[in-house]
Amino acid sequence: MLEKLLLNHYEAAAVILSGIGLTNLLLQRNLIKKIIGLNIMDTAVYLFLAAKGYVEGRAAPILIENGSGGWLNSSSIYVNPVPAGLVLTGIVVSVSVTAFALALTLKLYESYGTLNIDEALMKMTEEQKDIEARIDEAEEEVLA
Protein backbone atom coordinates (compact mmCIF):
# COMPACT_ATOMS: atom_id res chain seq x y z
CA MET A 1 0.00 0.00 0.00
CA LEU A 2 2.84 2.39 0.85
CA GLU A 3 4.43 2.08 -2.62
CA LYS A 4 1.07 2.81 -4.17
CA LEU A 5 0.64 5.85 -1.94
CA LEU A 6 4.11 7.07 -2.93
CA LEU A 7 3.16 6.59 -6.57
CA ASN A 8 0.10 8.78 -5.99
CA HIS A 9 1.80 11.11 -3.55
CA TYR A 10 -0.02 14.26 -4.75
CA GLU A 11 -3.38 12.67 -4.17
CA ALA A 12 -2.25 11.31 -0.78
CA ALA A 13 -1.06 14.79 0.22
CA ALA A 14 -4.39 16.23 -0.90
CA VAL A 15 -6.29 13.73 1.23
CA ILE A 16 -4.14 14.43 4.29
CA LEU A 17 -4.53 18.18 3.73
CA SER A 18 -8.27 17.78 3.60
CA GLY A 19 -8.13 15.81 6.86
CA ILE A 20 -6.14 18.63 8.48
CA GLY A 21 -8.74 21.10 7.26
CA LEU A 22 -11.61 19.00 8.61
CA THR A 23 -9.93 18.62 12.01
CA ASN A 24 -9.35 22.37 12.07
CA LEU A 25 -12.99 22.96 11.20
CA LEU A 26 -14.18 20.69 14.00
CA LEU A 27 -11.72 21.55 16.79
CA GLN A 28 -11.20 25.29 16.50
CA ARG A 29 -13.59 27.38 18.57
CA ASN A 30 -12.64 30.61 16.80
CA LEU A 31 -14.89 31.23 13.81
CA ILE A 32 -12.17 32.83 11.66
CA LYS A 33 -9.96 29.76 12.23
CA LYS A 34 -12.90 27.53 11.33
CA ILE A 35 -13.20 29.39 8.01
CA ILE A 36 -9.46 28.95 7.47
CA GLY A 37 -9.99 25.21 7.99
CA LEU A 38 -12.69 25.24 5.32
CA ASN A 39 -10.28 26.99 2.96
CA ILE A 40 -7.61 24.36 3.62
CA MET A 41 -10.13 21.71 2.57
CA ASP A 42 -10.86 23.68 -0.61
CA THR A 43 -7.14 23.83 -1.39
CA ALA A 44 -6.91 20.06 -0.95
CA VAL A 45 -9.63 19.63 -3.58
CA TYR A 46 -7.76 21.88 -6.05
CA LEU A 47 -4.55 19.92 -5.49
CA PHE A 48 -6.38 16.65 -6.07
CA LEU A 49 -8.00 17.86 -9.30
CA ALA A 50 -4.78 19.35 -10.64
CA ALA A 51 -2.95 16.10 -9.88
CA LYS A 52 -5.63 14.08 -11.67
CA GLY A 53 -5.27 16.23 -14.78
CA TYR A 54 -1.51 15.90 -15.10
CA VAL A 55 0.00 13.60 -17.72
CA GLU A 56 3.71 12.87 -17.64
CA GLY A 57 5.77 14.73 -20.22
CA ARG A 58 2.93 16.64 -21.88
CA ALA A 59 2.54 20.39 -22.45
CA ALA A 60 -0.01 22.82 -21.00
CA PRO A 61 -3.27 22.82 -23.01
CA ILE A 62 -2.45 25.83 -25.17
CA LEU A 63 -2.14 24.99 -28.86
CA ILE A 64 1.43 25.04 -30.22
CA GLU A 65 2.25 26.17 -33.75
CA ASN A 66 3.63 23.40 -35.94
CA GLY A 67 5.99 25.69 -37.91
CA SER A 68 4.01 25.76 -41.15
CA GLY A 69 1.14 28.01 -40.12
CA GLY A 70 -0.96 25.26 -38.58
CA TRP A 71 -1.56 24.08 -35.03
CA LEU A 72 -0.60 20.86 -33.34
CA ASN A 73 -3.91 19.43 -32.14
CA SER A 74 -3.04 15.84 -31.43
CA SER A 75 -4.39 14.86 -28.01
CA SER A 76 -1.13 13.09 -27.17
CA ILE A 77 0.86 16.29 -26.57
CA TYR A 78 -1.36 18.20 -24.10
CA VAL A 79 -2.42 17.51 -20.53
CA ASN A 80 -6.07 17.12 -19.56
CA PRO A 81 -7.77 20.57 -19.77
CA VAL A 82 -10.97 19.65 -17.90
CA PRO A 83 -9.64 19.75 -14.30
CA ALA A 84 -8.42 23.32 -14.90
CA GLY A 85 -11.99 24.38 -15.61
CA LEU A 86 -13.28 22.48 -12.58
CA VAL A 87 -10.69 24.07 -10.29
CA LEU A 88 -11.79 27.47 -11.56
CA THR A 89 -15.36 26.70 -10.49
CA GLY A 90 -14.07 25.54 -7.12
CA ILE A 91 -12.03 28.69 -6.54
CA VAL A 92 -14.94 30.98 -7.36
CA VAL A 93 -17.36 29.14 -5.10
CA SER A 94 -14.78 29.04 -2.30
CA VAL A 95 -14.18 32.80 -2.55
CA SER A 96 -17.91 33.47 -2.45
CA VAL A 97 -18.56 31.18 0.50
CA THR A 98 -15.57 32.56 2.42
CA ALA A 99 -16.69 36.14 1.91
CA PHE A 100 -20.24 35.38 3.00
CA ALA A 101 -19.07 33.42 6.05
CA LEU A 102 -16.69 36.23 7.05
CA ALA A 103 -19.48 38.78 6.71
CA LEU A 104 -21.71 36.71 9.00
CA THR A 105 -18.80 36.36 11.46
CA LEU A 106 -18.32 40.12 11.45
CA LYS A 107 -22.00 40.63 12.26
CA LEU A 108 -21.72 38.08 15.09
CA TYR A 109 -18.71 39.91 16.48
CA GLU A 110 -20.55 43.21 16.33
CA SER A 111 -23.48 41.73 18.27
CA TYR A 112 -21.68 39.62 20.88
CA GLY A 113 -18.15 41.00 21.00
CA THR A 114 -16.53 37.59 20.62
CA LEU A 115 -15.36 35.30 17.86
CA ASN A 116 -15.52 32.20 20.05
CA ILE A 117 -18.53 30.14 19.04
CA ASP A 118 -19.08 28.77 22.58
CA GLU A 119 -19.05 32.18 24.22
CA ALA A 120 -21.36 33.55 21.56
CA LEU A 121 -23.76 30.63 22.05
CA MET A 122 -23.73 31.13 25.82
CA LYS A 123 -24.52 34.81 25.38
CA MET A 124 -27.31 33.87 23.00
CA THR A 125 -28.80 31.46 25.58
CA GLU A 126 -28.62 34.11 28.29
CA GLU A 127 -30.34 36.58 26.02
CA GLN A 128 -33.03 34.03 25.30
CA LYS A 129 -33.57 33.43 29.03
CA ASP A 130 -33.73 37.19 29.58
CA ILE A 131 -36.39 37.53 26.96
CA GLU A 132 -38.38 34.64 28.42
CA ALA A 133 -38.18 36.13 31.91
CA ARG A 134 -39.41 39.45 30.58
CA ILE A 135 -42.30 37.75 28.82
CA ASP A 136 -43.24 35.99 32.09
CA GLU A 137 -43.20 39.29 33.97
CA ALA A 138 -45.40 40.89 31.37
CA GLU A 139 -47.84 37.99 31.58
CA GLU A 140 -48.05 38.33 35.36
CA GLU A 141 -48.75 42.02 35.06
CA VAL A 142 -51.53 41.27 32.64
CA LEU A 143 -52.96 38.62 34.99
CA ALA A 144 -52.74 40.95 37.98
Partner 1 sequence: MNEELRAIWQTFFNWVMGIGPRPENEVIPPEPPPDLPFTQKPRDKYSRFHEATLKERYNQWLEIHGLHLFSVLYAGLSVLTCVVIVSLLLATVAELPPFGHERNPANNEVIRRYVEHGGHETGAQNIVAGLILDYRAFDTFGESAVLFTAAVSVLMLLGASRSNKPDDGESPLRHHHAFSKNDTILRGVATLSIPAILMMGCVVVINGHLSPGGGFSGGAILSTALILAANAYGFGRVHDFFSERTFIVSSSTALMIYALSKGYSFFTGANHIHSIIPKGTIGDILSGGLILPLNICVGLIVAGTLYGFYALFSEGDI
Q: Would you count residue 50 as binding partner 1 (CB under 8 A)?
A: no
The interface with partner 1 within residues 84-123 (CB under 8 A) comprises 84-85, 88-89, 91-93, 95-97, 99-100, 102-104, 106-107, 109-110
Nearer Cβ to partner 1, position 89 or 128?
A: 89
Q: Would you count residue 30 as binding partner 1 (CB under 8 A)?
A: no
Q: Which of 22, 32, 36, 117 binds partner 1 (CB under 8 A)?
A: 22
Alpha-carbon gap, residue 81 to 12, rounded angstroms: 22
Nearer Cβ to partner 1, position 4 or 142?
A: 4
Question: Is the backbone of residue 78 left (phi > 0), alpha (psi -120 to 50) or beta?
Answer: beta
Q: Which of 30, 45, 67, 71 binds partner 1 (CB under 8 A)?
A: 71
Q: Would you count residue 7 as binding partner 1 (CB under 8 A)?
A: yes
Give the residue among 13, 18, 35, 16 at the shortest CA–CA distance from 108.
35
Alpha-carbon gap, residue 117 to 30, rounded angstroms: 6
Sequence-ordered list of residues with C-beta below 8 angstroms from that of 78, at least 6 positions apart, any chain: 58, 59, 60, 61, 62
Q: Would you count residue 33 as binding partner 1 (CB under 8 A)?
A: no
Question: Is the backbone of residue 26 left (phi > 0), alpha (psi -120 to 50) or beta?
Answer: alpha
Distances (CA, A) of 107 to 35, 104, 117: 15, 5, 13
Residues that bind partner 1 (CB under 8 A): 1, 4-5, 7-12, 15-16, 18-19, 22-23, 26-27, 51-56, 58, 60-63, 65, 71, 73-76, 78, 80-85, 88-89, 91-93, 95-97, 99-100, 102-104, 106-107, 109-110, 136, 140, 144
